[in-house]
Structure 1
Amino acid sequence: MEDQVEQAVEIALSSNSDPMIKQQAMSFCNQIKESEDGWQMCLSLFMNDRKRSSAVRFFALQVVDDALVKRLNGSAKQLDNTSMLFIKDALLSYIQREYSPQSATDADAVFMQNKLAQTITLFFLLSYPNTWPTFFDDLLTLSSMGGPQLSNGRGLQLFLRILVAQHEEIADTLIIRSSEVARRNTIIKDAIRVRDMARLASAWMEILVQWTSRDDGYLIVESCLRVIGSWVSWIDISLIVTPQYMSIIFGILGNEALRGAACDTLSEIISKKMKSSDKFDLISLLNLPQTIGQLLIGSDVEFTEKVARLVNVVCLDLVRILDEDQFASPLKENTENLLQQLFPFGIGFLANEYDDTSSEIFPAISEYLSYLRKEKKRNIPLNPARRSTLTSILNTVIMKVKYDESMDWSNGTDDSEIEFLEVRGRLRLFQDAVAAIDENLFMDSISSIVISSLNGEKRDWRDIELGLFELGAYSDGLRNAAALPTKGQGGSSKAMEILNDMLLKMTNSNVLSIGHPSINLHYMELVVKNSKFFETHPQIVPQILEIFVSNIGIHSSSLQVQVRAWYLFYRFIKLCKHLMGDIAETALNAIGDLLVIESEVSAKNDGDSDMSADGTDSGTFDGRLYLFEASGILISVESVPDEKQLHLLKSVLTPIFRDMEASLSRPVEGSQLALQIHHDIMAIGTFARGVNDGGKAITDPVREQFLLASRAILVSLETLSGFEIIREASRFAFARMVPILGHQILPEIAVLVSRLLSESSTSELIDFMSFLGQLIHNFKGQSGILDMLDQLLTPLLSRVFYSLSISANGSTDEEIQQSDIKKAYLNFMMGLLNNGMEAVLTSDRNRQIFESIVRSVAHYTSTSPDASIKKMGSSIYTRLQVIMKAT
């Protein structure tokens, strides 16, 4: 039978097994697990034959584990008290045979030792302390086995593995347990504390003493330290924190092979929850300032990281003691003194060249800064020691956010740079905290760095990038302060003066001459973020525009920089349009070569009528649209004469009209044509939005040009209405031209709506009804919109009711879509009622569908789980009832 089990396990685990035979083998293995005597056969297989494969012996213990777990859960009948005694004797017999110094066989593989430790731990949960009260004594005896106490290395390794497994089962806080299991574990832990903990703590100390100096003791000492570090969270700390115990662990810190484990153990010991006074006494006993000062750290990166973690744990606890004890006391004074001794180490780790090491101290830095902010709110001034620490933190953070020599700029595309930027973002929060604690310190430090980077002496791009980054951080801080009720003016007048001074120095500097893309982007970002600066310095605007339209900005040879510059240029034009003066035409001429539309369809979208426009042009088309919107703003600022505006308007629109005409006349079909026309239509709509945003009153000649544009779009829609992206673009463009054309666009809108309704998919109905809602609001009371809605209502709502009558088939996406259609439908109905267009509901053309509308609103209101639908539906239903009674 054992041979059959071995064969079945090997077949089940083999990747080359025949699927049918493999399934049979797995079924056989499951039968073994479920059978009443399967555990007996498997225990015998594990015990008696070391020649079996490791996989088979591992499976055998799994079967035993399953039986033990079932008994733990109260669902196993096959394990009675006699069976439990049999398992205990078998396990002890195996350990005595295989884990004695005299064993002739090789030790079990590590994974087998871990599995055996898990099996013994499960048995322990069932038997301690009632039926096996001598559990720990018996295992400690096996760790000697005739030799000196705790001298059996093989037995000790298993013993320590068992202790690790026990902690995971009964005390690991990361594991969620039922209340019943938690109660059981509490009983076991209480019994260990009373019966065996003193003995175990003594044994651990003896293990450390005996094995630290042995050449073969590394793994045993490391395992013992791991056990101490895990168990210390729930045992009496006084058993471990004694001068003798701590002296031994500190001694291990001098052992290069074991000092990392010792450091981890100290971190766990200090993390033990206790009263503030007891925690301070513990930290004082460890004398960490002197100990850490004697450690040779730096060359060993991993150990340095562990020491940083230790310092972080200690500083965290000290800060929390300070925060709990708000009033002056000897404890607070002593805690402050000890913290000031330790913080230089923490700041040293913060400055470490390795970000993983720096990050270890982040929690303590954050907690300390939070504490100082609370102290400020309590009107407690910074004493010299705290100010010195705060200054060191800020200066270290500033240097830490600088690109180091080993890293190049890639605009966030390189993994190492992405990690650096993430750390930099967290460091920015520390700077913001310092600014909130001591504004003058922050202003002086940042302005010094910024001015130094702008003075022309530093030519390394990293130095200049640091200065511009900090200038951005400074201005962001002032903007954030302006958003707070207590800072209504965005910080002090001194802070604003310093910001304006730095911006003036930046615009007058030659930092762009270095030609680095990161500098160029930072510069443009800062210009846009601080556009209000140009209100008082309008004479600089032409200079900034010249930079934007040069190869530094929108004509950059770097595609990443170029596309980002298109957006930043648009933002600058939008924010400073009233400062353009007579340079608008010059700026527009400078970007004319970029107002070119070229589409490229990916292979997967070729010929697909439902293709998306996203991702087809490497993201550049969406960026180019910002240039069209910016050009619309430029030609529509107040300073541009009407005749010049019309000329410039035609210079943008005419090439698009010609491209649409040429594209539609060419014998090109499919996705390439659709995408090109889509881009043309989107450019028109985006350009229209810019024209409307420019601030200049719309003249009739301008309206005439956009009326031509609307007709060109309708021609394209008629030809390519089967493509969803054409329908989407047409709807987008018309929505942007409505504010310009007003009621003049209504005849074209009627044609547009008819086309869209006949072709729109179910998913498009949502956007379509939203579009109609916008038209209802814009043209309320006008006969043209009433006539259009009167013709449209019945076919539109028939489409809506049909779409909602189709079952979602359990699909989450379809259920969400149906909910969104209901909301869009009810919003559409609300728009009709709120804008005085309820007459279309009961017109001769739509009277036959009115009752269906009322019933549908009642149905969606009563059956929808969405509170917003219920509320809106109830309001609409009440108003529809009034209309029904009136008719």
Structure 2
Amino acid sequence: MFGPHVMEEEVLQNLEPKTDVVSQQHALAYLEQLKNSETGWQFCMSTLTRGMTQDNQLRFFCFQVVEHYIRNHYNNENLADQQRVREFLSRWIQLQCTQLGRQEAIFLRNKAAQVFALVFVRDYPLHWTDFFGDLIKTLSFGPQAVDIYVRVLKAIDSEVADQDITHTHQEIERNAAIKNAMRGSCVEKLVESWYHILKTYETSNPELVNQCLEIIGAYVSWIDIGLVANARFIELLLSLLCVVESRESAADCLHDIISKGMEPLDKLQLIETLVPVLQSSGILKPLEDDETDFSCKLSHLVNGIGLNLIDAHNKLSKSGSVEQVALLQNAVERKVPIMIQFLSNDYDDVSAEVLEFAKEYIHMLKAKVMQTEEQLGYAHTLLLTIVYKMKYDESYRFEQEGEDEATFQEFRKQLKVLFDNLAGVNKELVIEYVTKFTTNTLCEWRTTSFEDVEIAIYLLYLMGEAIPASGGNHFTGDHTKVSAMQTMMHTLVTCDVSYHPHPAVTLQYVETVVRYEKFFNTEPEHIPYVLTSFLDQRGVRNSSPLVRSRCSYLFSRFVKCLRTLIQPYIKEVLGPLQFLLILNPPENGSRLISEDDQLYLYEAAAVMIVSGAFDAQQKGMLMSNMLIPVMEKFKTLVTQLLVETDERKQQLFAQTLCHAMAVTSRASKAFTNHQTMKSCCCVPVFVEATKVFLNCLQIPTQSQVLQSGVRQFLHRMVVCLEEELLPYVPRASEGLLKGNDIRSIQEYVPLIVQIIAKFKLSWVFQKEVIPFLQQVFMPIVNAIFSAQSLPIEENDEQGKREKQLLQRNYFQFIAAVVTNNVSEVLNAQDSRFLEQVMMSIIRGAVDFPDPVAQKTCFSILRKLVDLWGGKEQPDDFTQFIYKNIVPACFMAPLKSTFDLSDAQTLLALAESAMCLKAILQRRGDEFVSYLHTEYLPTLQISPQLIDEYCQALKAENKVFKNYVKIFFQQART
């Protein structure tokens, strides 16, 4: 079927690039059959060795067919096929190295190398003992053959030794056997071939040299290190380090050599032999600015040297002698100056390569009870280097941070870790240096670069984590640290550095004064200065949007932290703040303060009013002065929105209306359990705000946006107001439920649940809210039922989540009505509709595979039993108990979806148990008799287990809850 003549006519011609797409697709489909053909692989090998005139895609496909055959059908017991494969491999290499054809594209050579490697792992060592001998012979064909040779070795490494590739247990055993065979027979030949390649092509073909160096680095991890780490190889590698085209690969190869797994003392000997040679050759030092890539490689090499020595030191510390450990310690110490040299390089990429060495060395120092003078000297030099590297570069774009800036910030975080660890080595050293550097720099900030000023403040900021304080107060405890912190903070807030024009300095200043707000407990006289710096051109009026935004947030934090200490200055602060609290209409364009940042300012202003040393009447007046302009602006915007026809402007108006409600809500966060709205005489202004804001619910446009703003405002008012809110609940609810939109209902339910939970015992609630709930209960529930019945596509995950959320909200709504003693809402409903509701609870308990919802449903059923389950109640609910509630308590836990190992499910199980206990309490022995003689026997449970269950039911609640889990585990088996 796949004779070559047919294939040449029907396939090869159709796969030419000029052929039309349909013919090509037909040909490719036809060729796919080759993979399953007994002779298709032979045809493909023949195609690959007849010449190289075909399209690369065809050749790649042919290699895939050969690969498929070798992976799935190659049998090294079939000598004829084995011989065909070997002849193909040999012929293909020869063809690569002759003038008869061009060399394959790189991706084809890599695919061919993969085929070689697959044959190798199947034939070596039993069926092709001299695989490497045959392969090495091809090197005489020239550089093309060398290229194939190193690619094959790389593919073999991937199949046999690469630790990053996952292998099966069988493959691991096979690979171990292959490596053992190679060590015993051919590794020395391979190493000799590598040396020959490096020497031969050292100057003429750097690409081959680099490929060979990569192979040496890969194989050195499992061959005898002495074959590579010897005088002639090291001399050759050193010479390659001076060849621009090969030096980076040579550095990587050396890194791989020193990273080979070895015994600690052997590793020490290897590195101590290698490093002096590298040093004497002038290699181990950063290079010129235009050689940063190579400097990075050298830095990576130094990092490997350090980490390997430290690892050897740590291993020997557990089992070696004191002398041996000291040898390794000294070896590490001698490398530290080299590491510092690279760490201090102007290029962060070079510095970053030795960060791990620096970190591990500092950990070594931390483990020492006492450090030597030399070690302290290294620690001091490291500290200076870290501070130097932490500084911003002049090219840093503060207002438009991009990828380079993000990279530097990540680098700075890593340097911070080193700084923190150095403080753990010797905190006195760090305190002394930071204090001196920070105070001197801040005192001279006007004549110092912004980079130095910013880092001086940043070091002060970092002291908080580098040297933690007990109880979070850095100004009590250790006298040395407290004195230093007070000195630096005093200098920071008195030297006028807050006037520095650079935004990086300003931001670091405000971050630091807020971090160390407890300083102002000791020197409160500086508070007015800091408050002013937040509110003028240095802070929230700064020309930088970034500074304005951050200062808004930090000012709020500062005020909340020092609410007691700032009382004498509140009137002076509220004045300048008023301008920033104006709600700009949308047509005015950009704002000085963004809407999000303005929220923090309103909260800060409210905190100052509430915590200030004013009488209650003054607090009410000040709060009114702040919020009445918001309401006036709100009324104006409502009028404008009603007549606006442009949709974009409508959106802007609606957004500003929501912002007005949001700032009012945020102001309410200032109240506490001790300083309530009522005690501060602020109830009238917030009630007035409620009346004003509810007007927007009548606006026909942008209704969803406005409803969301009202809902969020009302959630806050439920928390802060008392019964005075309740008269507005029906009006608010009507507006929020207008149109019976299911989303509106879904988002309304948590609000009404919150209202019921808080005000259930209030007579105003009974008078104002319950009649409303009785009226809207049926429409709300029917709307939810309708939404739940809508079909959802199988793959609509978002729709499924929304439906689950709606279901949970529905159950929470019913639970709020039932469990908060407002059952008169249910009593007012039509009996058939009420039965519908109760059956939905039964379905939720049994059929809805959501343990959170199931727990809520069982809680509802339990409360209904408490309310209506007594013997004096009507018989129809008693029938409902025995016909529906009792079966639900058993059917739900018996379902396979009821996961008895899940914590949430166990809570639902416990609630179902308590539901049964409630029935027992209301119905007594009648219920036990029903279970024993009527219901439990229908579950095919043994009489013994039934007796056991009924006894457990009569036990204490805790005992019964523990028992039901065991019961259902047994019942389900």
Write out aligned runs for 1:467-616 (5 A): 467-477=456-466, 482=471, 492-598=478-584
Corresponding residue of 2:49 = 47
Tell me if 1:365 matches 2:358: yes
The 1-side partners of 2:315 and 2:777 are apart by 68
Q: Given that residues 318 and 339 in structure 1 are in contact (C-alpha distance below 8 angstroms), is that contact kept between their aligned partners in structure 2?
A: yes
Report whether the alignment pairs 1:738 with 2:718.
yes
CA distances 1:831-865 after superposition (whole Å, capped 9, x unpaired):
5666x436357433386565555554554455566
Report whether the alignment pairs 1:698 with 2:698: no
Question: How far off its partner does 1:7 sit?
Answer: 4.7
| Residue in 2 that maps onto 1:660 | 634
Calculate the TM-score normalised by the size of structure 2: 0.80
SS at match of 2:614: coil
Partner of 1:38: 40
Aligned partner of 2:176 in structure 1 is 186
Matched, 1:27 2:29: yes
Does the residue aligned with 2:317 lie in a helix, a strand or coil? coil
Q: Deviations over 1:158-179 (max 9, x none)?
A: 1111101111122222222333
Structure 1 residues 166 and 692: CA distance shift in structure 2, 3 A = closer
SS in 2 for 1:85: helix
CA distance in 2, matches of 1:114, 1:8: 26
* CA-to-aligned-CA distance 1:30-70 (integer Å, 9 cap, x gap): 34444443323322222112223333333322332232233
1:277 aligns with 2:265: yes
How far, CA to CA, are the matches of 1:80 and 1:765 in structure 2? Answer: 75
Displacement of 1:28:
3.5
Corresponding residue of 1:606: none
Picking from 7, 11, 16, the partner of 1:5 is 11
Larger relative CO (CA 8 A, sep 6+): 1 or 2? 1
Cα deviation, residue 792, structure 1: 4.6
Choose which of 208, 213, 216 in structure 2 pairs with 1:220. Answer: 208
Query: Where do 1:660-679 residues align within 5 Å?
Result: 660-666=634-640, 667-669=643-645, 670=647, 672-679=649-656
Q: Offset of 1:117 from its aligned partner? A: 1.8
Q: Name the residue aligned to 1:263.
A: 251
- Confirm whether residue 311 of structure 1 aligns to residue 302 of structure 2: yes
> 1:627 maps to what in 2?
601
1:845 aligns with 2:829: yes
The 3-state SS of whatever aligns with 2:307 is helix
Q: Is the contact made by 1:597 and 1:676 (CA closer than 8 Å) also made in structure 2?
A: no
Alignment partner of 1:812 out of 797, 801, 805: 797
Say if 1:773 and 1:828, in contact at 8 Å, map to a contact too: yes
Of 122, 144, 147 in structure 1, the residue corresponding to residue 118 of structure 2 is: 122
Does the CA contact (< 8 Å) of 2:599 and 2:666 recur in 1?
A: no
For the 8 Å contact 2:619–2:681, the answer to whether it is kept is: no
In the TM superposition, residue 266 of structure 1 has moved relative to its aligned partner by 1.3
CA contact (8 A) 1:692 1:739 kept: no
Distance 1:208 1:570, change over 3 A: same
In structure 2, the partner of 1:67 is 69
- Does residue 461 in structure 1 map to residue 450 in structure 2? yes
- What's the counterpart of residue 190 of structure 2? 200
The match for 1:249 among 237, 240, 258 is: 237
Q: Name the residue aligned to 2:373.
A: 384
CA offset digits 1:737-795 (Å, max 9, x no partner):
23443110111122212322345755565543333343234323113445155445444
Cα distance in 2 for partners of 1:864, 1:246 equals 72
CA distance in 1, matches of 2:370, 2:740: 67
Contact kept in structure 2, 1:64 and 1:119, CA below 8 Å:
yes
* Change beyond 3 A, Cα 1:616–1:789: farther
* Conserved 8 A contact 2:510-2:554: yes
Q: Distance in 2 between the 1:47 and 1:616 partners? A: 71
Distance in structure 2 (CA, Å) of the matches to 1:622 and 1:631: 15
Q: Aligned-pair distance for 1:646?
A: 4.1
Taking a change above 3 Å as real, the CA distance of residues 731 and 319 of structure 1, as seen in their structure-2 partners, is: same
Residues 128 and 135 of structure 1 are in contact (CA less than 8 Å); yes or no, is this contact kept in structure 2? Answer: yes
Tell me the distance in 2 between the aligned counterparts of 1:740 and 1:58.
73
What is the Cα deviation at residue 261 of structure 1? Answer: 1.5
Aligned to 2:340: 347
Are 1:56 and 2:62 an aligned pair? no
Aligned positions of 1:729-808 closer than 5 A? 729-759=709-739, 762=742, 767-786=747-766, 787=770, 788-808=772-792
Between the aligned partners of 1:331 and 1:236, the Cα distance in structure 2 is 24
Q: Distance in 2 between matches of 1:858 and 1:436?
A: 61
Q: SS of 2:823's equivalent?
A: helix
Aligned-pair CA distance for 1:140: 0.8
Q: Which of 1 and 2 has greater Rg?
A: 2
Report the alpha carbon displacement of residue 340 of structure 1 after superposing the two structures with TM.
0.4
* Cα contact 1:349–1:361 (8 A) shared by 2: yes
Q: Aligned residue pairs: how many?
A: 848
Backbone CA RMSD of aligned residues: 3.4
1:430, distance to aligned residue in structure 2 (A): 1.3
Tell me which amino acid in the other structure corresponds to 2:351.
S
Q: Distance in 1 between matches of 2:280 and 2:806?
A: 65
Q: Measured at CA, do residues 272 and 464 of structure 1 come closer, stay the same or move farther in structure 2, by a change above 3 Å?
A: same
**Residue 137 of structure 1: how far off its partner (Å):** 0.4
| Residues 707 and 745 in structure 1, CA contact (< 8 A), matched pair in contact too | yes
Change (3 A) 1:873 1:50: same
* Equivalent residue, structure 2, for 1:393: 382
Indicate the residue corresponding to 2:143 in structure 1.
Answer: 153
Q: Which residue is equivalent to 2:869?
A: 885
- 1:604 maps to which residue? none
1:129 to partner: Cα distance: 2.1
Cα deviation, 1:540-590, whole Å, max 9, x if unaligned, reads 222122111111111122222222222222222222222333432332221
TM-score (norm 1): 0.87
The change in CA–CA distance for 1:731 and 1:599 in structure 2 (over 3 A counts) is same
Taking the aligned partners of 1:823 and 1:477, their CA distance within structure 2 comes to 47
Cα distance change of structure 1 residues 187 and 450 upon mapping to structure 2, 3 Å threshold: same
Separation of aligned partners in 2, 1:185 and 1:875:
61
Quote the Cα distance in structure 2 between the aligned partners of 1:878 and 1:740. 32
Structure 2: distance between partners of 1:364 and 1:394: 15
Q: Give the C-alpha shift of residue 468 in structure 1.
A: 1.5
Provide the residue aligned with 1:686 in structure 2.
663
Deviation of the 1:506 alpha carbon: 0.6
Which sits farther off after the overlay, 407-416 or 467-476? 407-416
Deviation at residue 627 of structure 1 after TM alignment? 2.1
Q: Which structure 2 segments of 5+ residues have no match?
A: 1-6, 874-973
Identity %: 24
Aligned residue for 2:958? Answer: none
Contact 2:548 2:593 (8 Å CA) reproduced? no
When residues 208 and 531 of structure 1 are mapped into structure 2, their CA distance, relative to the original with a 3 A threshold, is same
Alpha-carbon shift at residue 96 of structure 1 (Å) = 2.8
**Whole-Å separation in 2 of the counterparts to 1:133 and 1:335:** 43
2:894 is aligned to none
CA deviation after TM superposition for structure 1 residue 441, in Å: 1.8
Relative to 1, partners in 2 of residues 1:489 and 1:820: Cα closer, same or farther, differing over 3 Å? farther
CA distance in 1, matches of 2:470, 2:742: 46
Given residue 632 of structure 1, which amino acid in structure 2 is its aligned partner? A
> In structure 2, do the counterparts of structure 1 residues 879 and 185 end up closer, same or farther at CA, with 3 Å as the change threshold?
farther
C-alpha separation in 1, matches of 2:276 and 2:852 = 59
For residue 5 of structure 1, what is the amino acid of its counterpart? V
Residue 437, structure 1, aligned to residue 421, structure 2: no
Range with bigger deviation, 344-353 or 851-860 = 851-860
Q: For the residues of structure 2 that align with 1:30 and 1:617, how far apart are their CA atoms?
A: 65
Q: Which amino acid aligns with 1:844?
A: A
Contact 2:461 2:512 in 1 (8 A): yes
Q: Deviations over 1:229-267 (max 9, x none)?
A: 011223333433334433433343343432222211111
CA distance in 1, matches of 2:467, 2:850: 41
SS of 1:394's equivalent in the other structure is helix
